[in-house]
């Protein structure tokens, strides 16, 4: 189940080299991932936070392949993957594509935690929507 959104580089994201500053690539991926989680997985971050359930990142790995430039229109993809050994962790394989060529690729891993503490978990409603999702093979 791959999800995709299209964005255009914002002028304020350009650095002195006239390319996108490296710190913005994870933000573009976050925007896409959050829309996927909200629209497809039906997980409302704000409503869940009010109930004391926080979805948080536990790690990410990102590889830069090429740079985005001012005015580029690009796609960001997001595909969920289950963890082979830890049912409380969800992974998202993501890419930024420009003209169908990989610009950046990453895997973001996260879980849910209760605001008051406790063990990490994934809500049943989320798990049921992820049924049949592939397991992460550890590769970008």
CATH superfamily entry for domain 3-129: Hotdog Thioesterase (3.10.129.10)
Report domain extents, the chain: 3-129
What's the mean pLDDT when you consider all of the chain?
96
The structure tokens listed for 72 are: 């580029």
Q: Span 105-129, mean pLDDT?
A: 95
Q: Span 7-34, mean pLDDT?
A: 97
Distance of CA 18 to the CA centre of its chain: 26
Burial label, 67 (beta-carbon count in 10 A; 0-12, 13-18, 19+): middle
Q: Span 40-69, mean pLDDT?
A: 96
The pLDDT value given to residue 140: 86
Q: Is the pLDDT of residue 118 over 90?
A: yes
Sheet of strand 73-82, all strands in order from the earlier edge strand to the far edge: 3-8, 73-82, 90-98, 101-114, 53-64
Q: Span 47-69, mean pLDDT?
A: 96
pTM equals 0.94
């Amino acid at each position: 189940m791959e999800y995709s959104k299209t964005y255009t580089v914002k002028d304020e994201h350009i650095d002195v080299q006239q390319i996108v500053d490296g710190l913005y690539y994870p933000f573009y991926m976050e925007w896409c991932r959050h829309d996927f989680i909200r629209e497809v997985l039906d997980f409302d971050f704000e409503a869940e936070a009010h109930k004391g359930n926080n979805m948080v990142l536990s790690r990410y790995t990102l590889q830069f392949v090429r740079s985005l430039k001012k005015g580029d229109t690009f796609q960001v993809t997001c595909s969920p993957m289950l963890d082979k050994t830890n049912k409380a962790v969800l992974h998202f394989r993501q890419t930024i594509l420009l003209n169908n060529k990989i610009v950046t690729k990453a895997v973001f891993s996260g879980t849910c935690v209760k605001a008051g503490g406790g063990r990490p978990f994934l809500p049943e409603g989320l798990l049921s929507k992820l049924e049949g999702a592939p397991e992460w093979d550890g590769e970008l």
